[in-house]
Amino acid sequence: MENLLLMMAPLFSSKLLLVLFFGTLFGLILGVLPGLGPTTGGALILPFTMTLDPLSAIVLLTSIYCAGTYGGAITAVLINTPGTPAAAATCLDGYPLAQKGEAGRALGMATVSSTVGGIFSVIILVFFAPILAQLAYEFGQPEYFALAIFGLTMLASIGEGSPIKNLIAGAFGILISTVGKDFMTSIDRFTFGINELTEGIGFIPVVVGLFAMSEMLTQSTLINQVFNRIALKAIKLPSKDDYKKTWKTILRSSGIGSFIGVLPAEGGTVASLIGYSEAKRFSKKPEEFGKGSIEGIAGAEAANNAATGGAMVPTLALGIPGSATTAVILTGLIIHGVRPGPDLFREQPDFLYGIFGAMLIANVLFFIFGFFGAKIFARITLVPNKILWPMIFAVSVCGTYSLNQSIIDVWIMLFFGVLGFFMRRYGFSVVPVIIGLILGELVEGTLRQSLVIFDGNWLMFFTRPIALTFFILSLIALAFPLIRSKKFKK
């Protein structure tokens, strides 16, 4: 009861309500714009959060996360381009249904299923995050090392890309985290005599570079691309018949999305793909999928929004990001001096339940904004890239510079922009780099501290039951893409 009251706290704070309002609005705009999205948007807004108190800052980031994930559906349905990667599966049926003149119905279903998925996942978050945090009290350095390894091996099954390429990208991310002074011995590593690098490479320049700048370069190859936009008259709430057809799918996908979200490093993209394929598998009319199936939209959208709450579980309980956007949120927490983990649950329940409550409200808010404002948000896609991207560049440069007031950070951002472009061009996802970067210090730190505890005996890792469980799970995570590809071949 006490926790429920804490969750309702944002409703009674005009400041938090205002933050939620703008966060949701901003998240929706970011989600609608192809190439942007909650991860880039979160990274860009991070320097601004320095003017806010920690709770407001994280509420802003989480509301961007929730609304941005939903916003991608608007673009997916109307222009057949996912606003965010998590909305890719929504294109498969959303756009064909819109082509049949039922854009309003498609968006109505996307809005309802996203809201249900989002709220479902917040309930999961409220119940499971404290349990996971309680379990984490049993964790020592070796267990955290094994957990971080598990998180990294999960990168193998991110999206549909090559698992080995994902692992290379993850290892590269960890390598970036080793730049600068070694935290145990203060010895310089990969600094090449550049003083600014002794503090290491910041998270923001890498994220903004890999997401925003590489996308700008991608957009430069598409400047003559013409989108076939479908006009939206009005968004329609699903009919009784639609609800009958989809309620099971929405609930199933909400469960799938929440579960996938909880897994370290996985996120909305994987959740929506699995949610979609499971919706097809259980459907009475699987032949309609890909041709405008309302179940397809519900399956994908409920799952990707359910992953938002799920992904917050390991982020808050263990400090292991559940997705790329939660890696940004995790950075936000660290910047504001909040250390995620079990102690956070014991010492700052008001802070945590404030976030949970804010996520719940954000899900309701984007339903209202989406329902009444989808037509306006759809118009945002009309802003030409030749105007939009130079503006994003200006914000990216200033945002990156502002955090440490370092021009080197801006150059690092541009370097990662170019690198990210070529990575994506050759099938390397950039998300593992982010996850690797954020987990890098944890992996190395816990490994080295564990080896001190074990007196250099590596085999001792396998004598700890929890660590051993995570190592076995890591092996399963590595084998999963192989099993999946064999299953799809069949």
Enter the tokens of residue 226: 């013409």
Torsion of CA 119, 126, 133, 3, to 10 degrees: 150
Q: How far is the CB of 47 from other proteins (least distance, A)?
A: 7
Q: How far is the CB of 182 from other proteins (least distance, A)?
A: 4
Rounded CA-CA distance 273/92 in Å is 11
| Binding-site member from 34, 267, 341, 417 for other proteins (CB under 8 A) | 417
Rounded CA-CA distance 432/7 in Å is 32
Contact 97, 297 (CB under 8 A): yes
Residue placing its CB nearer to other proteins in the complex, 126 or 397:
397
Q: Does 164 participate in binding other proteins (rule CB under 8 A)?
A: yes
Rounded CA-CA distance 257/269 in Å is 10
Residue placing its CB nearer to other proteins in the complex, 41 or 108:
41
Q: How many CA atoms lie within 13 A of 329 on its CB side?
A: 31
**What is the three-class DSSP state of 404?**
helix
Residue placing its CB nearer to other proteins in the complex, 286 or 445:
445
Q: Does 390 participate in binding other proteins (rule CB under 8 A)?
A: yes
| Binding-site member from 410, 412, 431, 434 for other proteins (CB under 8 A) | 410
Rounded CA-CA distance 283/289 in Å is 9
| Binding-site member from 50, 131, 194, 483 for other proteins (CB under 8 A) | 50
Q: Does 459 participate in binding other proteins (rule CB under 8 A)?
A: no
| Binding-site member from 234, 368, 391, 476 for other proteins (CB under 8 A) | 391
Comparing CA positions, the residue from 122, 114, 119, 118 lying closest to residue 374 is 114
| Binding-site member from 18, 407, 476, 482 for other proteins (CB under 8 A) | 407
Q: Does 418 participate in binding other proteins (rule CB under 8 A)?
A: yes
Q: Does 393 participate in binding other proteins (rule CB under 8 A)?
A: yes
Q: Does 178 participate in binding other proteins (rule CB under 8 A)?
A: yes
Q: Would you give the distance in Å from CA 76 to the centre of its chain? A: 18
Q: Which stretch binds other proteins (CB under 8 A): 199-207, 283-291, 374-382, 446-454?
A: 446-454
Give me the phi and psi of 286, to 5 degrees please: -65, -20
| Binding-site member from 123, 385, 468, 469 for other proteins (CB under 8 A) | 385
Pairing state of beta strands 180-181 and 188-189? Answer: antiparallel
Comparing CA positions, the residue from 463, 459, 408, 467 lying closest to residue 180 is 408
| Binding-site member from 248, 448, 460, 466 for other proteins (CB under 8 A) | 448
Q: How far is the CB of 13 from other proteins (least distance, A)?
A: 21
Residue placing its CB nearer to other proteins in the complex, 127 or 422:
422
Q: Does 168 participate in binding other proteins (rule CB under 8 A)?
A: yes
Enter the tokens of residue 82: 């996912």
Rounded CA-CA distance 267/320 in Å is 13
Q: Does 456 participate in binding other proteins (rule CB under 8 A)?
A: yes
Q: Does 216 participate in binding other proteins (rule CB under 8 A)?
A: yes
**Residue 472, Cβ neighbours under 10 Å: how many?**
13
Binding site for other proteins (CB under 8 A): 47-48, 50-51, 162, 164-165, 167-168, 171-172, 174-175, 178, 182, 184-185, 187-190, 213, 216-217, 220-221, 223-224, 384-387, 389-391, 393-395, 397-398, 401-402, 405, 407, 410-411, 414, 417-418, 425-427, 444, 447-449, 451-452, 456
